Amino acid sequence: MNPVSYQRASSLTEAVRMAGTSRLLGGGTNLVDLMRKGVERPSLLTDVTALSAAIEETEAGGLLIGAAARNSSVAAHPLVRTRYPMLSRAILAGASAQVRNMATVGGNLMQRTRCLYFADVAGSRCNKREPGSGCDAAGGFNRYHAIVGASSACTATHPSDMCVALAALDASVRIVGPAGERTVPLVDFHRLPSDRPELETVLEPGEVIEAVEIPASPFAARSGYRKVRDRASYAFALVSVAAELTLREGRIDEIRIAFGGIAPKPWRAYRAEAALRGSGPSGEAFLAAAALELADAAPLAGNAFKIELAKRTLGAVLTDLTGDDR
Amino acid sequence: MAIRVNGTEVASPDDARVSLLDHLREGLHLTGTKVGCNQGACGACTVLLDGQRVLSCLTLAVQADGREVTTIEGLAEGDGLHPLQGAFIEHDGFQCGYCTPGQICAASAMLRELAEGVPSYVTADLAQERILLSREEIRERMSGNLCRCGAHNGIVDAIFQVATEKAA
């Protein structure tokens, strides 16, 4: 690991003043690992774990979660468990108890891909790590890579479970920087790679994530998160689905769906939602909506199975959510 | 600033690169905490930070400034065994023993999480405040600690016994 200096911000104002070109350090579960591998080589770290970790109800009946809140605190919070159970489930589906105790909400948003070629400094080309160097994943072991939203420059997936639930919950990200405060919808926070895969979010240098805001939701009773992976626990998703809906007179009234594991960012399935809104729930309708969403899928040699897996996982989640016992 | 390790104040390292794991082992000669993968995948380096289980390989020692660290050396009171240590022996919860300090530190925090009603991915009803203890719950909650010898069945048995005795 390269030599690095360390400073700790005691408040949001101080963090914005200190941030500059330093790398912001949360729980370190991703950044410290990438520093040890030589993927990240910051000369200065700004520790932002002393910023607000509060989880509070907003006046509009939503929830405001401080960027320094630990993933485990969010998953176990009574308001999250009762009003946004899908978010608890998604967080609990990710990593291990130790990692969730360390990882912050802000850090989860900022975590980088788990593409093996991205992490292999000594042996692999990677356009995300070293722009213009090429991509060894495209012709390599790409079982875990993207089937939608990728580019010829990069097919890496975003690894977060939490962000998939937040995308379906219409969450937004509060950002503070030298120029002031702004709020970005979670679905617009991460970028698709295009020809600049090294640019992963809309966060500008010097900006700090203050909090994540989730609006009030009528969906709690019919919401769910399902993750399909290569082992039963402590593994990244091959495919995951966050979905929530309401029924009216036997038909789907409102519905929100997001996929994880298939794209460079949490993938909100707007086309599938539009196809299902107002329709009667049935296995055929669910699969048709999934097929519509994935019509443009462009799989690689090792991950074509994800198309069928994503369709069936969505079908299974929606069948479960529209059942009579809810 | 200082770190409190097993009740004793120690200085944090000057070099910000030093992980809590390396500081414990190389700086303080507390070699009970083990280096496994050194990349957050195996759990061998698990310690308690302010009572919460964390991976010491991915924690910078400077981040532990002003906080309380408990390692396997500080888990039991006095010279006796911690109940989990006794149960691991009784149930053959190890072969080579390399992952054991991490397993036991993780399990001690896990028992507290269970008592506090913290849910897991396999908890059926998130709204319930009391967690129904099962082998499935223990396996899911301990998935961050790998045992290459494959002693997981004994590990689950040991934890199940202590959890049951604790709840009784």
Residue of A nearest to B45 (CA): A98
Beta-carbon contacts below 8 Å between A and B: 97
Residues in contact with B11: Cβ distance below 8 Å, sequence separation at least 6, in sequence order: B2, B3
Contact call for residues B104 and B73 (beta carbons, < 8 A):
no
Say if strands A63-66 and A172-177 run parallel, antiparallel, or are unpaired: unpaired
* Gap between the Cα atoms of A65 and A52, Å rounded: 8
pLDDT of residue B145: 98
Contact call for residues A106 and A73 (beta carbons, < 8 A):
no
Q: Where in chain A is the domain with CATH 3.30.390.50?
A: 220-321
Contact call for residues A237 and A261 (beta carbons, < 8 A):
yes
CATH of domain B83-167: 1.10.150.120
pLDDT of residue A325: 65
User: What stretch of H or E contains B90?
Assistant: helix B83-90
Give the A window 226-265 contacts with B, CB below 8 Å.
232-234
The model's pLDDT over B30-49, given as tens digits with 9 standing for 90+, comes to 999 999 999 999 999 999 99
* Gap between the Cα atoms of A148 and A225, Å rounded: 20
**Residue B18 distance to chain A (closest CA, Å):** 9
DSSP state of B60: B
* Gap between the Cα atoms of A322 and A204, Å rounded: 41
Q: Do A96 and B144 touch (CB under 8 A)?
A: yes
* Gap between the Cα atoms of A161 and A237, Å rounded: 8
Query: DSSP string of A263-296?
Result: SSS-EE-HHHHHHHTTSPP-HHHHHHHHHHHTTT
Q: What is the pTM of this model?
A: 0.97
Q: Which two tokens stand for residue B4?
A: 């409190």
Q: Where in chain A is the domain with CATH 3.30.43.10?
A: 5-49
Q: Do B144 and A98 touch (CB under 8 A)?
A: yes
pLDDT of residue B1: 72
| A326 inside 8 A of chain B by CB | no
The model's pLDDT over A219-274, given as tens digits with 9 standing for 90+, comes to 888 999 999 999 999 999 999 999 999 999 999 999 999 999 999 999 999 999 99
Q: Do A85 and B62 touch (CB under 8 A)?
A: no
Residue of A nearest to B105 (CA): A98
The model's pLDDT over B90-111, given as tens digits with 9 standing for 90+, comes to 999 999 999 999 999 999 999 9
SS3 call for A7 = strand
SS3 call for B15 = coil
| A45 inside 8 A of chain B by CB | yes
Contacts of B140 in chain A (CB under 8 A): 232-233
**Residue A85 distance to chain B (closest CA, Å):** 7
Contacts of B120 in chain A (CB under 8 A): 92, 97
**Residue A80 distance to chain B (closest CA, Å):** 9
Q: Which two tokens stand for residue A226?
A: 């399902």
| B133 inside 8 A of chain A by CB | no
| B38 inside 8 A of chain A by CB | yes
**Residue A96 distance to chain B (closest CA, Å):** 5
Most B CBs within 10 Å, among A96, A99, A120, to test the B interface: A96
Contacts of A50 in chain B (CB under 8 A): none
Quick one: pLDDT band at residue A129, thresholds 50, 70, 90? very high
Query: DSSP string of A159-226?
Result: --SHHHHHHHTT-EEEEEETTEEEEEEHHHHBPP-TT-TT--BSPPTT-EEEEEEE---S-GGGEEEE
The topology (CATH level 3) of B2-74 is Ubiquitin-like (UB roll) (3.10.20)
The CATH class that applies to domain A220-321 reads: alpha beta
pLDDT of residue B129: 85
The model's pLDDT over A158-193, given as tens digits with 9 standing for 90+, comes to 999 999 999 999 999 999 999 999 999 999 999 999
**Residue A275 distance to chain B (closest CA, Å):** 30
CATH number 3.50.50.60 given to A5-49 = no
Contact call for residues A177 and A208 (beta carbons, < 8 A):
yes
**Residue A5 distance to chain B (closest CA, Å):** 6
